[in-house]
Structure 1
Amino acid sequence: MPRSTRARRPGGPVTRRVRATLAVLAVVWASAHAAQPSDRLRELLEPMARFGAEFEQVVVGANGRTLQSAHGTVHVERPGRLRWEVVAPYPQLIVSDGTDLVVFDPDLKQATVRPLAEAPRDTPGRLLTGELDELDRLFDVAEDSEDTGDGFVLRPRGDDSLFDHIRLEFAGPLLAGIDIVDHLDQLTRVRFRNQSLSPALEPGLFELVIPDGVDVLRDVGSGEP
């Protein structure tokens, strides 16, 4: 008598095993291609090719005491152009035209000039004005979001960095604040208001004509915000 044959049902053991394998592979693929924190941060920084704001800045010691407070304005135009102007209590002007970085202290009648290419690259100022393609090379980026918006902690990869870490805080698409913690646990906290991604940039805004009678020092040290 010929052996009876039964049609194999769809979804038998082999089919189920294949489906399970594909499901696992899909999860692995999705995890591998999930957006990284640095990708999300880059998305927020990209529209800041131009940026203008007023700022309040506070320096807090490791013991929690306020050491200094200041306020002023900031303007940015990538690549490499920055104007960071402290109005009070002591005026200071930090200007980069994309070639040189100048720190001018009117009260001291002193200006420090250094080539921008020789200035540290893992500082907040360079983070705002530099090439975003360098983000992963210079920093280890982790998300640190709160209810108020997106937050990111950036730890410099270089051993000779001036900072332990930097925290950027966003409110929607706008940069709301920067926290900078050095290796002695001193905190510099900057908060922005009246931010604009399309500020009016006057001609000469990123150029500084040093007045007569000012001592000009050439240096390659630190000093960028």
Structure 2
Amino acid sequence: MRDTQVRRSSSLALAASALGLTLSAPAAWANEAAERLTAKLDPLQNYQASFEQRILDSSGQRLQSAQGEMWLSRPGMLRWEVEAPYAQTVVSDGSEVYLYDPDLEQVTVQAMDNRVTHTPALLLSGSASDLTESYDVFYEQEAGNDVFTLIPVSADTLFEELSMVFDSETLTELWMTDSTGQQTAIAFNGITQNGNIPSERFRFDIPEGADVIRER
């Protein structure tokens, strides 16, 4: 579904670049897209799902895949557990982000700054108003789904483009494209929105004996 949109967007951007043009949406369209996205995200207090994550090269060939589960609670809390092929856990408690690699017995701890929160899953845990202030938002419908494409206003981000796909009011896919054209595609299933997630889910206890790296 998303491959056609990616090729179309890339071709349009390339043509505009060749002509020395800068693409921008009319203000009314951009505002309407942002309002539509805000209406989708504002009621979302928490979110739980299984996921499949695929990393694709610029030609669409699969480089890597992983499966796992995620829990998200706004504002700022996330638990992201990759189960296969290599276990990894990311936990945000709203002030710090913990990245745990059990194979390396290593925990990396980062403060919740702007760059960290620009990762796709953590980006969803923030407020809708912050999101629409930090990104130009574009909207279209594809195969009955609502697709929102976010282009960062600032250059200091981890991706060039992020797309959110909604089936009615439910987020079902995330697509991220970086500066090399590599894509990360995340498909969600078994989704529960605004259910009951215990607060302990967003607490991370550093395992005994693990090496701890604190990034500042």
Q: TM-score range by the shorter chain?
A: 0.7 to 0.9
Correspondence for 1:99 = 95
What does 1:175-194 correspond to in 2, within 5 Å? 175-194=171-190
> Which residue matches 1:80?
76
Could you tell me how far apart the structure 2 residues matched to 1:52 and 1:81 are?
Answer: 12
2:174 equivalent to 1:158: no
Aligned to 2:120: 124
1:61 aligns with 2:57: yes
Distance 2:144 2:29 in 1: 27
Contact 1:150–1:172 under 8 Å retained in 2: yes
Q: Deviation of residue 201 (structure 1)?
A: 1.3
Deviation at 1:117, TM superposition (A): 3.2
Determine if the alignment matches structure 1 residue 201 to structure 2 residue 197.
yes
TM-score, structure 1 as length reference:
0.79
Q: Which has the higher strand share?
A: 2
Task: Return the letter of the residue paired with 1:135.
Answer: L
C-alpha change, 1:33 and 1:167, in structure 2 (3 Å) is: closer
Task: Work out whether residues 30 and 137 of structure 2, in 8 Å CA contact, stay in contact via their aligned partners in 1.
Answer: no
The CA distance in 1 between the partners of 2:170 and 2:90, in whole Å, is: 22
2:133 is the counterpart of 1:137: yes
The Cα of 1:35 is off from its aligned counterpart by: 6.0
2:166 aligned with 1:170, yes or no? yes
Counterpart contact for 1:47–1:197, Cα < 8 Å: no
Counterpart Cα distance in 2 of 1:66 and 1:137: 33
Which range is displaced more, 32-41 or 61-70?
32-41
The answer to whether the Cα contact below 8 Å between 1:122 and 1:138 also exists between their aligned partners in 2 is no
Does the residue aligned with 2:67 lie in a helix, a strand or coil? strand
Aligned residues: 190
1:45 to 41, 48, 62: 41
Cα distance in 1 for partners of 2:116, 2:136 equals 16
Q: What's the TM-score once normalised by structure 2's chain length?
A: 0.82
Cα offset for 1:199?
A: 2.9
Alignment gaps of 5+ in structure 1: 1-30, 221-225
Distance 1:49 1:85 in 2: 20
Is contact 2:115–2:157 with CA below 8 Å preserved after alignment? no
CA pair 201-62 structure 1, distance change in 2 beyond 3 A: same
**d(CA) in 2 for partners of 1:147 and 1:64?**
20
Whichever of the two has the greater Rg, that structure is: 1
**Contact kept in structure 2, 1:122 and 1:156, CA below 8 Å:** no
Note the C-alpha offset of 1:32. 5.5
Matches of 1:50 and 1:159 in 2, distance apart?
A: 29
Paired with 1:149 and 1:169, the residues of 2 have a C-alpha distance of 7
CA gap of 1:215–1:169, structure 2 versus 1, over 3 A, is same
Question: Would the aligned equivalents of 1:50 and 1:75 in 2 still touch at CA under 8 Å?
Answer: yes
Q: Secondary structure in 2 aligned to 1:120? A: helix
For residues 122 and 203 of structure 1, do their structure 2 counterparts lie closer, same or farther at Cα, with a shift above 3 Å needed? closer
The answer on whether the counterparts of 1:122 and 1:139 sit within 8 Å (CA) in structure 2 is no
Secondary structure of the 1:64 match is coil
Q: Does residue 142 of structure 2 align to residue 146 of structure 1? A: yes
